[in-house]
Amino acid sequence: MKNNFIKLITLLTVAVIYTSCSTTEEVDIDTTAPQVLIESPSVNQTYVGYWGGAWPEADKVIIKALGVDDTKIESIKLTVLNESRTIVFEKTVNSVTNTQTELVIYASYTPTEIGTYSLVFTAIDLNGNIENSVSRNFTVK
C-alpha cells in the first residue's frame, strides 16, 4: 500500500511539473482581416439593359475582385442586390490550398431588369477574420 501511495505522489508531482511548464515561444494569432480589392465594375458604371434589334440581350456586367490576406485566405464571396435589396446573384470561390494568400473572384452577370444594383464582396481568412467591401453600385438603363 505504501508503494502505491509513493507511486501516486510521484505521478501527481510529474503531472503538476509537466502542466506548469512554461514556454518562451510566442504564438502569433492572426486577427487581421483580409483586404478586398475591387477591379470591376467601376464606381457607378452604366450598362445598357436592352439594345433591341440584332442585340436583344443586355450588356454583361463583368465583376472581378481580389481577396488578399497576410497569412491564409479561405474564400471570397460576391453578392449582387437589386434596388429592392433582393439578392439576384451570388458566387463563392474557395481556396484550393491552405497556403493561398490571394484569391480572385470573377463573374459575368447579365441583369434581367433596368435599375440600380449594388454588389458586395466578402473575404474570409482561415482564422475566421471577415472583411466586407464597400458596396459598389452600377446602373442598368
pLDDT digits (tens, 9 = 90+) for 45-61: 999 887 666 656 778 99
What gap in Å lies between CA 4 and CA 9, rounded to an integer?
9
What digits encode the pLDDT tens for the residues 74-85?
A: 999 999 999 999
Lowest mean pLDDT among 8-22, 32-46, 115-129: 8-22
In this predicted model, which residue has the larger pLDDT, 57 or 91?
91
Reported as a pLDDT band with limits 50, 70 and 90, residue 68 is: very high
User: Tens of pLDDT along 101-133?
Assistant: 999 999 999 998 899 999 999 999 999 999 999
Contact at 8 Å (CB) between 114 and 82? no
At 84 the pLDDT is: 95
Mean pLDDT within 15-28? 54
Q: Is the pLDDT of residue 6 over 80?
A: no
Partner residues linked to 31 by β-bridges: none
Query: Residue 116 forms beta bridges with which residues?
Result: 139
Residue 139's pLDDT band, with cuts at 50, 70 and 90, is: very high
What's phi and psi for 88, nearest 5 deg? -110, -10
